[in-house]
Amino acid sequence: MTTLLLTHPVFLEHDTGPGHPERPDRMRAIDKALSHDVFATLKREEAPLRDDVEQWIALAHPTSYIDRIKQLRPAPGEPAIHLDGDTLLSPGSWEAALRAVGAGLRAVDVVMDKSAGIANAFCQVRPCGHHAETARAMGFCIFNNAAIAAMYARAKHGAERVAIVDFDVHHGNGTQDIFWADKDLFFASTHQMPLYPGTGALGEIGVGNVFNAPLRPGDGGEPFREAMESRILPALKNFGPDVVVISAGFDAHRDDPLANLQLVESDFAWATRALAEVAQRQAGGRLVSVLEGGYNLTGLARSVAVHVKELMDAGS
């Protein structure tokens, strides 16, 4: 059994403009980190552009929203447009967004089909997705890649109970919005609070399926691990997922410019290992990780490297 890495050169074509933190260089930094010999056994595939992708996006977003994004996309050579203050749609963004979703769908397909020899998967994609609400693009996000993958696992593969755990420094308000009233979908998040987008309080519980664990500015590995061990991991185990999806943001790193948590690579490795252990014990090892944030290139690259290495170790 091995780990599958899904990415594509088109993710460089999602043009967010000069000075934007969610920039193509993020992909280049990860590519360089994952070119090391230690990752030689990774199975690598291009994120697919599926003919049926809009059908599956519609599990999480209404067709009216999908059509609106499609209609707004600029033609080649035209300038990017703003979907909100910091979320842009450039001529290359539509295909990138579809392939980002397609990566999650492919990852679910292979981890659900044990005959494929894939234990788990990492989707190195952009634009990121966890801020995209049911019918609203925001926070660099157009479609909610992780939520779509989770709902696809249920609709296509019959997974009855699907969990997303999000350790991005920003609360995954979009995933919470999409999952809010569905008891068979689980969402848990560690995140800095107060911070954009302003959601993620302890009292936000959905129908008993939402578990937020806000952290304070300046918190480091010890409070992060305590939040995971006391609140999120017990809830996840109690939920009993058939598949686990990670919204893997690395902007809680101490060097990240957009927030004030103090995590280091070993904290991300620990969290990955803990989640993989739950997936192994309760979900037959079925685990899909989808890249979210992380804006210091060195911190991002190193953190992704330890994350993927833990996935490889879990699947070996």
Q: What is the pLDDT of residue 315?
A: 84
Taking the C-alpha atoms of residue 313 and residue 129, their distance in angstroms, rounded to an integer, is: 26
The CA-based dihedral angle spanning residues 2, 3, 9, 10, taken in that order and rounded to the nearest 10 degrees = 130
Residues β-bridged to residue 136: 133
Distances (CA, A) of 301 to 141, 256, 295: 20, 12, 10
Check if 8 is active-site.
no
Q: Find, among 151, 132, 164, 167, the residue nearest to 268 by Cα.
A: 167
- Rounded to 5 degrees, φ, ψ at 279 are -60, -40
Q: Find, among 80, 151, 68, 120, the residue nearest to 277 by Cα.
A: 120
CATH number of the domain enclosing 288: 3.40.800.20
Q: What is the pLDDT of residue 155?
A: 98
Chain position carrying tokens 């309080």: 201
Tokens of 236: 């996840």
List per-block mean pLDDT (blocks of 10 residues) for the chain, which spans 316 residues.
96 97 98 98 98 98 98 96 96 98 98 89 98 98 98 98 98 98 98 98 98 98 98 98 98 98 98 98 97 98 98 92
Q: What is the pLDDT of residue 9?
A: 98
Convert 25-40 to b/e letters by CB count within 10 Å (16 or more is b): ebbebbeebbeeeebe
In DSSP notation, 184-253 reads TEEEEEEEESS-TT----TT--TTTTEEEEEE-TT--HHHHHHHIIIIIHHHHHHH--SEEEEEE--TTB
Tokens of 169: 């420094």
Q: What is the pLDDT of residue 115?
A: 75
Taking the C-alpha atoms of residue 190 and residue 165, their distance in angstroms, rounded to an integer, is: 8
Q: What is the pLDDT of residue 215?
A: 98
Q: What is the pLDDT of residue 202?
A: 97
Of 8, 61, 131, 307, catalytic: 131
Q: What is the pLDDT of residue 25?
A: 98
Integer Rg of the chain from CA: 17
Per the structure, the count of domains in the chain is 1
Q: What is the pLDDT of residue 198?
A: 98
The dihedral through the CA atoms of 196, 162, 129, 120 has a sign that is positive
Q: Which residues constitute the domain of residue 229?
A: 2-315
